[in-house]
Homo-oligomer: A and B are copies of this chain.
Amino acid sequence: MFLLSISKTIMTQTDTRQRIIDAAEQLFAEKGFNNTTMRAITGMADVNLAAVNYHFGSKESLLQEVFERHILPLNKERRRRLEAVRAATMIKKEPLKVREVLTAFISPTLKLRDAGPSARNFLSLVGRSLSDADDTPRRIFFTNMRPIFELLFDMMCEALPETPPGHVCWRLRFALSSMGQVLIGTDFTSALFPQADAHQTTQQIEELLLDFIIPGMEESH
């Protein structure tokens, strides 16, 4: 009885929370954090205006939850794969390969492209965060990304022992912003060159992306 009542209570609670998060995710992805109003969120979620502040405390905390819902498991998977790459090369006593390191980071990310509209909206949010002018989303993004970025950076420096860290850092930034373009969506391409953008599968885009950034990453100038 006790457990049942608890689970029922939690059920309805998370139902409202879930609807809010879903709506916020979609609107944040489409219009950005600042251009999304609480009234738009609660309207789309079909809940009362005060529900956001009741369940999340503030609009900013809501963004944080929207963000963390996907970034936490994603970064866990990234770390798992990065460390698997490191372990495998240590066993074989080979040096780290740029392609393997980048793939370990990027592949789990792009997998989310086909994991439903919620994940897709989340990716859009992430794609913009790298160059967002808005304080709040950028702070939340970088706070969550710092540890995994540092691991990626360290392994990349290890894979490119001849390249100065300052160069690795810039190249990584270029590579990540390129990935960001994939995450955002197709607005740019279809808006500018509608004739060029045939529908590409995520797999094809991942190859396109990796083929673009890996040669630049390994360049030995």
Q: Mark A115-138, 1 if CB is under 8 A from B, else 0.
A: 000000000000110111111000
Q: Is the CB of B189 within 8 A of A131?
A: no
Interface residues of A in 202-220 (CB under 8 A from B): 205, 207-209, 211-217, 219
- Scoring A146, A174, A219 by chain B CB atoms within 10 A of each residue's CB, the highest score goes to A174
**Copies per complex?**
2
Q: How far is the CA of A191 from the CA of B198 in the complex (A)?
A: 38
Q: Is the CB of B213 within 8 A of A174?
A: yes
Chain B residues, CB < 8 A from A153: 192-193, 196
Q: Does A5 contact B (CB under 8 A)?
A: no
Q: Is the CB of A191 within 8 A of B132?
A: no
Q: Is the CB of A169 within 8 A of B149?
A: no
Q: Is the CB of A166 within 8 A of B198?
A: yes
Chain B residues, CB < 8 A from A131: 127-128, 130-131, 180-181, 184
- Selected A-B contacts with CB under 8 Å, 12 pairs: A32-B132, A34-B34, A35-B135, A153-B193, A166-B198, A169-B192, A169-B197, A170-B209, A171-B208, A174-B212, A207-B221, A212-B217
A: residues with CB less than 8 A from B are 29-35, 127-128, 130-135, 142, 146, 149-150, 153, 165-171, 173-174, 177-178, 180-181, 184, 188-189, 191-193, 195-198, 200, 205, 207-209, 211-217, 219, 221
